């Protein structure tokens, strides 16, 4: 599975998505800061699973329709920072999708995540991450799960990694920094948390119009059992 995660910087980089998907052969596209009132149902062969509806700039997940079928979607509002209370940039900060692999008959969970901005404390972001990962279990207990996005966590990542491992997940960073806008805040912001996946590589892609650089996650399911998915109706 090849997953691209991209914070579009207030929708500015939306025009780059089709080329990114085609160039890197993405199977899943997870987006943050997407103007969800103005998005297509398909991008370069990827179908929209769902997008958040209560955000000024929200989250969206697209998937390759000839490989997967979307079974269930869950959006989650997380504990708010002061920034959220005052400016209300994001109500829902996690969008998870359960995908059924058509050929292999197995299910996986993929989620797009956007943590509170740097004005919040790391403790709040850890709370958001912990809550989001726990919520993914509601989409399918024990299923392989992959959550990607803008974690806004440039320092003390070792502590975050330990907290994530205590929850049964692994934290993976890309091979180069993913945020470049401000000199003193440059670094790794866009992460992967996973359970039941082997993360083969996380690569930072070239910068476009966003202050975040997209990341490309290449991952394989460690182990999964076939799942019977009920048909609609």
- Residue 209, domain CATH: 3.60.10.10
Number of domains into which the chain is organized = 1
Instruction: Note the pLDDT of residue 81.
Output: 47
User: Quick one: tokens of 176?
Assistant: 């180069």
Convert the pLDDT of each residue in 162-200 to its tens digit.
999 999 999 999 999 999 876 656 788 899 999 999 999
Q: Is 227 inside any structural domain?
A: no
- Residues 205 and 180: their CA atoms lie apart, in Å, by 13
φ and ψ at residue 137, rounded to 5 degrees? -60, -25
Task: Using the predicted structure, report yes or no on whether residue 87 has a pLDDT greater than 50.
Answer: no
- Residues 7 and 58: their CA atoms lie apart, in Å, by 10
- Residues 202 and 35: their CA atoms lie apart, in Å, by 26
- Residues 167 and 155: their CA atoms lie apart, in Å, by 20
Q: Identify whether the C-beta of residue 5 lies closer than 8 Å to the C-beta of residue 190.
A: yes
Domain of 110, in residue numbers: 2-221
Which residue from 112, 129, 99 is spatially nearest to 33, judged by alpha carbons? 112
Q: How would you class 53 by CB atoms within 10 Å of its CB: exposed for 0-12, middle for 13-18, buried for 19 or more?
A: exposed
Q: Is 40 inside any structural domain?
A: yes
- pTM (two decimals): 0.90
- Identify the three-state secondary structure at position 10: coil
Q: Is 233 inside any structural domain?
A: no
Q: Is 97 inside any structural domain?
A: yes
Q: Angle, nearest 10°, between helix axes 122-136 and 157-166?
A: 30
Q: Is 230 inside any structural domain?
A: no
Q: Is 46 inside any structural domain?
A: yes
Q: Is 226 inside any structural domain?
A: no
Q: Is 232 inside any structural domain?
A: no
Convert the pLDDT of each residue in 202-233 to its tens digit.
999 999 999 999 999 999 999 666 666 555 44
């Amino acid at each position: 599975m090849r997953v691209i995660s991209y914070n579009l910087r207030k929708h500015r980089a939306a025009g780059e998505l089709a080329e990114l998907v085609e160039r890197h052969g993405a199977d899943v596209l997870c987006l943050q800061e997407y103007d969800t009132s103005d998005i297509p149902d398909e991008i370069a062969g990827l179908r929209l699973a769902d997008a958040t509806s209560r955000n000024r700039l929200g989250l969206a997940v697209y998937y390759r329709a000839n490989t997967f079928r979307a079974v269930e979607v869950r959006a989650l509002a997380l504990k708010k920072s002061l920034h959220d209370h005052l400016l209300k940039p994001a109500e829902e900060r996690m969008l998870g999708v359960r995908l059924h692999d058509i050929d292999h008959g197995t299910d996986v969970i993929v989620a797009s995540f956007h943590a509170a901005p740097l004005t919040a404390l790391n403790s709040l972001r850890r709370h958001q991450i912990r809550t989001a990962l726990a919520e993914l279990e509601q989409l399918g207990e024990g299923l392989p799960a992959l959550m990607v996005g803008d974690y806004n966590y440039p320092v003390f990542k070792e502590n975050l990694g330990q907290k994530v491992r205590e929850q049964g997940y692994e934290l993976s960073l890309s091979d180069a920094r993913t945020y470049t806008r401000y000199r003193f805040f440059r670094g790794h912001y866009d992460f992967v948390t996973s359970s039941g996946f082997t993360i083969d590589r996380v690569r930072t892609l070239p910068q476009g119009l966003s202050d975040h650089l997209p990341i490309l996650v290449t991952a394989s399911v460690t182990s999964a059992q076939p799942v019977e998915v009920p048909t609609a109706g």
